[in-house]
A and B are shown apart, each in its own frame.
Chain A
């Protein structure tokens, strides 16, 4: 469908339920990332051939990878938390915004 520029009026909208769903998804993804983080660490240790340089390098990098996955999982989980908090904040201010708009219309 062809898209034209936004029509008169523009609009402000928050679908708090959709935000909550996205937040829930982010939380689930964060949990899955935590599992991946644990498994990845085990895989790195499995892949270490005794006595050779690759094994030593993997040992050295394992902690960095653990921190990286931990960081990523934290970012995603934090995004979920922020979205939930945002949805709650908008729900609470709905009444305030509605009152303001009704004053403008009046």
Chain B
């Protein structure tokens, strides 16, 4: 916004004749014309945004380095459009204030002239009052009244001549000079980018398989790869089939840019909030009797209500932006843990390298985070989280921690650092909010929509890592619905499927998941309310489902949902302090391929009637219930995985 400054002391005061003769009608006509041009300007601004900016920045219309630069350049022009409209709107407001001031001055002056004429007084051009003829007897009271009216007229005039004229003259329109330089630089960069793009070819077509994408990437020189990572980080970061290191480098650029953007936006919003609060305080100070809603018989003024609404809106936006910023910086912190010393279940370990394989802040956010190198790991697990998972939320750091726990547990079980666990939030996890969208969690739309992306991602893992010996797909909560839908749709290249805290998987039996039932593993805490919902079919832990059920020694702590989030807790954070029989340990055994060590409630095949009771709902310190009956999973060679 332009800087408003009061004029200097050298402003000449208008004469009485000038005020009297001022054509305020012309001024008001001019204001009306300016208003009509403001509307036309705003119309062209909307057309520019809708028909040019929004068109050009659609990825399916134009993508590539040049598109990015063109989009940035158009956005700059749009911002300049916005600034121009704001400048003009402010000018109109100033002129309206000026017109009102001049009208008041002319009205006071007319009253003074009438009163003066009636009392034999004359008004001088210098705002003085004198008797009309020498020797006339002055009416002191009338003379005083005329003088007061002239004071009011002069005061109103000077108010306009001072603050309003000063503000008009101080409107800062010189930003065009600065923008010209920026635009010239951006134009030169855009032209250079177009040339570069033509010489290094483009991104691969959408129908390329991950293997073809991998081949395409390998065909590029290191310099061209770096160029694409730097110029199109969002696109490169989301390409299945690319090495984890390339995706990680690209996505960290996107993440860093988003952190900067959030910080900038937050600063701007806080500045606006401070300004609105100051305006509200000033309104209370100057018009307190008219804005105090708490006083009987008085209503807040429209100006007060408008400021109050604006403040409420700003506070909401500040809260949302602040939470997202916290989430993104927390994610950066988690990523930086790679290679650092870490204490896990009482032992000192080195946190495996962390990779950001996908990231954006669209909708509730998306992120794919790996703990361990998925391109070299022998054991790879893909963990699909469920309800309310949002990478734009500060809580996401705990989902990443769960991922780290699984890698560390599997590595600990295997005695080697050859595990990568990947948190895959590549879909829109339903968000439990008030209103109609609350129903999303009980519907399969989000899970169904996730199937192609998850299937493609799983396939790409075996493209970039030929040495995977055990690939596990794990779904938690609504994530198990995603896993169920994906597994039912096609034969996945996975060796094991784990379903925990599941409200059903849209399948009547493990056999419908296109994998041998003995390679399907389920777990539920005794008092997990989600696992009792049955929204998507019967519980997969039911023996009739035909999968293995492993023990889950959960306590849940406090809160209704406590046990639902305990499947990945390590012994330190698990309120039992248990080791050896926890859900995390069992999951670690499965991920590391040591399924013979999994502590079972029941195995995949039907068991004879048991004599020992299963853990009853509500038991908080249930002992592990290893079956005493022969375990076909341990005794028989597992069927080959359904690739």
A interface residue numbers (CB < 8 A to B): 1-15, 18-19, 21-22, 25-26, 29, 32-33, 36, 39-40, 42-54, 56-58, 60-61, 64-65, 67-69, 71-72, 75-76, 78-80, 82-83, 86, 89, 93, 96-97, 100-101, 104-105
Contacts and interface: CB of A to CB of B under 8 A. Distances in A.
B202 A97 contact: yes
Contacts of A2: 363, 427-428, 445-446, 449-450
B587 interface: no
A60 B260 CA distance: 40
Given A9-B212, A49-B26, A101-B205, A22 B64 contact: no
Q: Which 6 A-B pairs have the closest CB atoms?
A: A47-B30, A11-B206, A43-B33, A12-B202, A12-B203, A8-B456
Interface string B593-636: 00000000000000000000000000000000000000000000
Contacts of B428: 2-4
Given A61-B169, A89-B194, A26 B48 contact: yes
Nearest to B50: A25
A8 B213 contact: yes
Contact of A86 (B22, B194, B238, B368): B194
Contact of A47 (B56, B95, B194): B95
B552 interface: no
8 contacts: A4-B366, A5-B368, A11-B206, A12-B205, A13-B60, A52-B14, A72-B77, A75-B179
Contacts, number: 263
A96 B62 CA distance: 17
A47 B31 contact: yes
Contacts of B179: 71, 75
B360 interface: yes
Contacts of B73: 79, 82
Contacts of B240: 7-9
A86 B70 contact: yes
B486 to A, nearest CB: 12
A59 to B, nearest CB: 11
B33 A46 contact: yes
A71 B84 CA distance: 10
B30 A104 contact: no
B447 to A, nearest CB: 9
Interface in B37-69: 37, 40-41, 44, 47-48, 51-52, 55-56, 58-64, 66-67
Given A22-B51, A39-B37, A76-B77, A54 B452 contact: no
Given A29-B52, A54-B27, A68 B87 contact: yes
Nearest to B56: A22
Contacts of A89: 194, 198
A19 B368 contact: no
B89 to A, nearest CB: 13
B11 interface: yes
B474 interface: no
Given A64-B173, A100-B201, A54 B208 contact: no
B482 to A, nearest CB: 10
B140 interface: no
B62 A58 contact: no
Contacts of B84: 68-69, 72
Interface stretch (B143-151, B157-165, B393-401, B403-411): B157-165
- Indicate the size class of the contact surface on chain B: 35 or more
B433 to A, nearest CB: 15
Nearest to A40: B37
B426 A5 contact: yes
A3 B363 contact: yes
A54 B164 contact: yes
Contact of A9 (B95, B164, B209, B363): B209
A4 B528 CA distance: 28
Interface string B336-368: 000000000000000000000010101100101
Contacts of B171: 61, 64
Given A39-B37, A57-B169, A83-B70, A12 B27 contact: no
Given A50-B23, A93-B198, A96-B198, 11 more contacts: A12-B63, A14-B61, A14-B62, A25-B52, A46-B26, A49-B23, A69-B84, A75-B77, A76-B48, A82-B73, A83-B56
A104 B215 CA distance: 8
Most buried by A among B37, B84, B210, B215: B37
B241 interface: yes
B176 interface: yes
Interface in B356-384: 358, 360, 362-363, 366, 368
B577 interface: no
B264 interface: no
A33 B203 CA distance: 37
B14 A53 contact: yes
B326 interface: no
A4 B426 contact: yes
Interface in B20-35: 21-24, 26-27, 29-31, 33-34
Contact of B168 (A36, A46, A50, A57): A57
Contacts of B24: 49
A78 to B, nearest CB: 8
Nearest to B194: A89
B233 to A, nearest CB: 12
A13 B63 contact: yes
Contacts of A54: 27, 95, 98, 102, 160-161, 164-165, 168
A92 B29 CA distance: 53
B453 interface: yes
B291 interface: no
B456 A7 contact: yes
B358 A5 contact: yes
A65 to B, nearest CB: 7
A22 B203 contact: no
A104 B161 CA distance: 73
Contact of B34 (A7, A29, A43, A104): A43
Contacts of A86: 66, 70, 194
Contacts of A80: 52
Contact of A10 (B52, B60, B187, B238): B238
B459 interface: yes
Contact of A68 (B176, B204, B358): B176
